[in-house]
Amino acid sequence: MVKPIALTLGEPAGIGPDIAIAAWLRRKSDAVPPFYLLGDRAFIAARAKLLGHELPLVDAGPGDVARIFSEALPIAATGHPATAQPGDPDGNSAPAVIGSIRQAVSDVMAGHAGAVVTNPIAKSVLYRAGFAHPGHTEFLAELATANANPPQPVMLLWSPDLAVVPVTIHLPLRDAIEMLSSRMIVDTVRIVVADLRARFGIPNPRIAVSGLNPHAGEDGSLGTEDQTIVAPAIATLRAEAIDVKGPLPADTMFHEAARRTYDCAICMYHDQALIPVKTLAFDRAVNVTLGLPFIRTSPDHGTAFDIVGTGHASPSSLIAALRLAARMAGSTPSA
Ligand SMILES: NC(=O)C1=CN([C@@H]2O[C@H](COP(=O)(O)OP(=O)(O)OC[C@H]3O[C@@H](n4cnc5c(N)ncnc54)[C@H](O)[C@@H]3O)[C@@H](O)[C@H]2O)C=CC1
Ligand SMILES: NCC(=O)COP(=O)(O)O
């Protein structure tokens, strides 16, 4: 029997509950794989009502989902009530947000769920409540290990049009440039190549690596990092027979013809990677964490506080995330 997907609550004041409800309502038309939502049933019922739906919500564990999903939205209680109002985040709901993520990871690590899909969190709200991790990506890596050496998580934004990976993730731009190293680039590309082979069925992934500076440094006259950090990493990866090219000027590597020449673009910092993919495929792109011992995907967007409870939140990216997670769960995990 196919294992269900554990879907986290996300920020309760955000659109996570709206799109989870919408995804369940589209379960037949969009072939949404069975999932259960880890959250507070009364809270979800109230959001559904605000959106104009009287939903059948059933308390359920992962083992009940296959039986229930076609008729009701399965809810797994986490024991933490959510109190935030639509569009108005409140730090008191932080335990509900974090407890949902913890329980989803526990379920997938125990083999009860096939994958974790996360709804968006508002990072600054959690930081103010004492959350010490930059985002899901880094938190999930910590939860994935019982010891002090978490795996290196890699953020992949996957879409039919473009796949991108930022080498540095949730860092102020100044710190990202400071921290960038050949070692980080090499480690990131190795994880990307292993997971593209094992989980995406691409036997020989073609990798394009961006430069850091304008024009990839213009032979050192617009910054030296492309020559001293990026190029040596590419040489190391080529010596491992990885199909990799670069450093490429980031402003010209995303046009249509260029995109056809690679399977994944490796970028040096968050916005260099996420701007092109969100521009091309905002409603289709999926955030995937590579390098973990379990599958985690997420919609590409955030909490969208401006449209919570209005019915305007599109569940497309969440549905793409659920479908991709199910597809990946059916493939052979990397060793
Ligand atoms: N995976 C995660 O947990 C992520 C969380 N965030 C968090 O989201 C919060 C807000 O971030 P923003 O930069 O404002 O980005 P956002 O993605 O929440 O919103 C940007 C714009 O896109 C619209 N939008 C977003 N998702 C939509 C959807 N499904 N349907 C229709 N319109 C949609 C919003 O209404 C808004 O106008 C931040 O606190 C950030 O930390 C952002 C990205 C990912
Ligand atoms: N901009 C992408 C993003 O913030 C997602 O981060 P994460 O919470 O999935 O680590």
Predicted confidence (pLDDT) per residue in 28-70, tens digit: 999 999 999 999 999 999 999 999 999 999 999 999 999 999 9
Provide CB contacts within 8 A for 38, sequence distance 6+: 6, 7, 8, 9, 75, 76, 78, 100, 103, 104
The string of pLDDT tens digits covering residues 59-74 is: 999 999 999 999 999 9
The confidence score (pLDDT) of residue 335 equals 37
Looking at the CA of residue 118, tell me the nearest atom of ligand 2: 9
Residue 331 has pLDDT above 70, yes or no: no
Residue 146 has pLDDT above 80, yes or no: no
Domains observed in the chain: 1-151+292-335 (3.40.718.10), 154-290 (3.40.718.10)
Taking a C-beta distance cutoff of 8 angstroms, is the pair 236, 186 a contact?
yes
> Would the CB of 199 count as within 6 Å of ligand 1?
no
- Ligand nearest to C-alpha 317: 1
Name the percent of the chain lying above pLDDT 90: 95
How far apart (Å, rounded) are the C-alpha atoms in residues 48 and 125? 23
Residue 10 has pLDDT above 60, yes or no: yes
> Would the CB of 278 count as within 6 Å of ligand 2?
no
Q: Tell me how far the alpha carbon of residue 15 lies from the centroid of ligand 1, in angstroms.
A: 9
pTM of the model: 0.96
Q: Tell me how far the alpha carbon of residue 302 lies from the centroid of ligand 1, in angstroms.
A: 3
Q: Tell me how far the alpha carbon of residue 102 lies from the centroid of ligand 2, in angstroms.
A: 17
Question: 319 vs 32, 59, 195, CA distance in Å?
Answer: 6, 22, 21
> Would the CB of 135 count as within 6 Å of ligand 2?
yes
The string of pLDDT tens digits covering residues 290-303 is: 999 999 999 999 99
**Which residue puts its alpha carbon closest to atom 38 of ligand 1?**
122
Longest dimension (CA), the chain: 64
> Would the CB of 310 count as within 6 Å of ligand 1?
no
The confidence score (pLDDT) of residue 118 equals 98
Ligand 2, pocket-test mutation among 97, 170, 288, 297, most atoms within 8 A of CB: 170
Taking a C-beta distance cutoff of 8 angstroms, is the pair 35, 8 a contact?
no
**The residue count for the chain:** 335
Per-residue pLDDT band for 1 (boundaries 50, 70, 90) equals low
Q: Tell me how far the alpha carbon of residue 45 lies from the centroid of ligand 2, in angstroms.
A: 27
Residue 281 has pLDDT above 50, yes or no: yes
Q: Over range 257-265, report the average pLDDT.
A: 98
Ligand 1, pocket-test mutation among 169, 279, 300, 301, most atoms within 8 A of CB: 301
**Which residue puts its alpha carbon closest to atom 6 of ligand 2?**
135
> Would the CB of 303 count as within 6 Å of ligand 2?
no
Taking a C-beta distance cutoff of 8 angstroms, is the pair 115, 324 a contact?
no
The confidence score (pLDDT) of residue 158 equals 98
Per-residue pLDDT band for 147 (boundaries 50, 70, 90) equals confident
The string of pLDDT tens digits covering residues 194-251 is: 999 999 999 999 999 999 999 999 999 999 999 999 999 999 999 999 999 999 999 9
Q: Over range 277-281, report the average pLDDT.
A: 98
Q: Tell me how far the alpha carbon of residue 279 lies from the centroid of ligand 1, in angstroms.
A: 13
Looking at the CA of residue 298, tell me the nearest atom of ligand 1: 1
> Would the CB of 311 count as within 6 Å of ligand 1?
no
Residue 334 has pLDDT above 60, yes or no: no
Q: For tokens 């493939």, what's the residue?
A: 331
Q: Tell me how far the alpha carbon of residue 308 lies from the centroid of ligand 1, in angstroms.
A: 11
How far apart (Å, rounded) are the C-alpha atoms in residues 224 and 212? 9
Q: Over range 269-280, report the average pLDDT.
A: 98
Q: Tell me how far the alpha carbon of residue 243 lies from the centroid of ligand 2, in angstroms.
A: 28
The confidence score (pLDDT) of residue 285 equals 98
